[in-house]
């Protein structure tokens, strides 16, 4: 059973997501909060496996809530669930400690898949978000002395995603499966000396500041 908490100030949307989650085998919504402040008070007691977090809420925003929550509960898995595709907000959310970033327009089936992915240690992202993160990888490859050597297939995967192809389109073009694409991306993280998208994005932001 994967337990889920929702933090979003859109009450009707929260109820809709909770109803769907509770109706799916193997999932249970244990709490809903409509402000970051309230969520911080109660989530440590709820102990959910996965938190679905909106960004723009009345009072404390979701990014600040993620940052504080990860300090209180380092092992908690948080997935942003928002309508915003702004690059800065994506990077800020991931650097704050979010493990995934999905857009609210995803289907219920995709939402359950993303929750499962986060719970199992993955970093699910909607295709438009993944493209922006992959593009940041390409920008931050070392220049000059130290070189990061990607295999031709790893480079092909990166190029496809950075040029706007979805995981499915990339898989079709390269005649490989979507899980294989995710496997290539994990290898790329290792070559960039990062353990996750969060670290990769933090590295990108540090590079931008220099």
Q: Which domains does the chain have, with CATH numbers?
A: 2-124 (3.40.50.2300), 129-209 (1.10.10.10)
Radius of gyration of the chain from its Cα atoms, rounded to whole angstroms = 17
At 92 the pLDDT is 84
DSSP 163: T
Q: What is the pLDDT of residue 90?
A: 81
pTM, two decimals, is: 0.72
Residues 6+ apart with CB under 8 A from 134: 158, 161, 162, 185
To the nearest whole number, what is the mean pLDDT of the chain?
A: 82
pLDDT at 40: 97
Q: Other C-beta atoms within 10 Å of 11: how many?
A: 10
Say what the pLDDT of residue 204 is. Answer: 47
Decide: residue 196, CB within 10 A, 0-12 exposed, 13-18 middle, 19+ buried: middle
CA distance linking residue 206 with residue 18, whole number of Å? 37
* Residue 118 tokens, joined: 């986060």
pLDDT at residue 167, as a whole number: 74
What confidence tens digit (pLDDT) does each residue in 51-68 have?
999 999 989 999 999 999
Please give the DSSP secondary-structure letter assigned to residue 84.
Answer: -
Q: Is 196 left (phi over 0), alpha (psi -120 to 50) or beta?
A: beta
Assign 58 to helix, strand or coil.
coil
In degrees, rounded to 5, the angle at the alpha carbon of residue 115 between the alpha carbons of residues 135 and 205 is: 30
Helix spans in 4-47 (H) = 11-23, 36-46
In the block, residue with structure tokens 């995710």: 182
- Once rounded to an integer, what is the mean pLDDT over residues 138-142? 57
The pLDDT value given to residue 199: 53
Q: Measured between alpha carbons, how far is 13 from 27 in angstroms, rounded to an integer?
A: 18
- The pLDDT-based confidence of 205 (bands split at 50, 70, 90) is very low
pLDDT digits (tens, 9 = 90+) for 95-137: 888 888 888 888 899 899 889 988 887 778 877 777 777 666 6
Instruction: Give the pLDDT confidence of 143-182 residue by residue, as tens digits.
Output: 444 556 778 888 888 778 766 677 778 889 999 988 788 7
For 35-44, write each residue's pLDDT tens digit: 999 999 999 9
pLDDT score of 2 more than 70: yes
* More reliable by pLDDT, 86 or 97: 97
The answer to whether 202 and 142 are in contact (CB under 8 A) is: no
């Amino acid at each position: 059973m994967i337990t889920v908490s929702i933090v979003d100030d859109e009450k009707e949307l929260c109820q809709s997501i909770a109803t769907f989650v509770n109706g799916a085998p193997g999932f249970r919504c244990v709490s809903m909060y409509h402000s970051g402040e309230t969520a911080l008070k109660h989530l440590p007691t709820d102990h959910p496996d996965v938190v679905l977090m909106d960004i723009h809420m009345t009072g404390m925003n979701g990014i600040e809530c993620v940052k504080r929550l990860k300090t209180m509960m380092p092992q908690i898995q948080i997935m942003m669930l928002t309508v915003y595709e702004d690059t800065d907000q994506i990077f800020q959310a991931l650097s704050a400690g979010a493990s995934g970033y999905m857009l609210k327009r995803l289907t219920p089936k995709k939402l359950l898949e993303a929750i499962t992915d986060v719970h199992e240690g993955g970093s699910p992202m909607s295709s438009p978000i993944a493209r922006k993160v992959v593009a940041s990888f390409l920008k931050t490859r070392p220049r000059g002395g130290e070189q990061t050597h990607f295999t031709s297939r790893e480079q092909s995967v990166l190029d496809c995603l950075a040029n706007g192809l979805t995981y499915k389109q990339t898989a079709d073009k390269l005649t490989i499966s979507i899980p294989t694409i995710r496997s290539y991306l994990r290898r790329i993280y290792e070559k960039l000396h990062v353990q996750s998208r969060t670290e990769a994005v933090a590295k990108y932001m540090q590079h931008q500041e220099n």
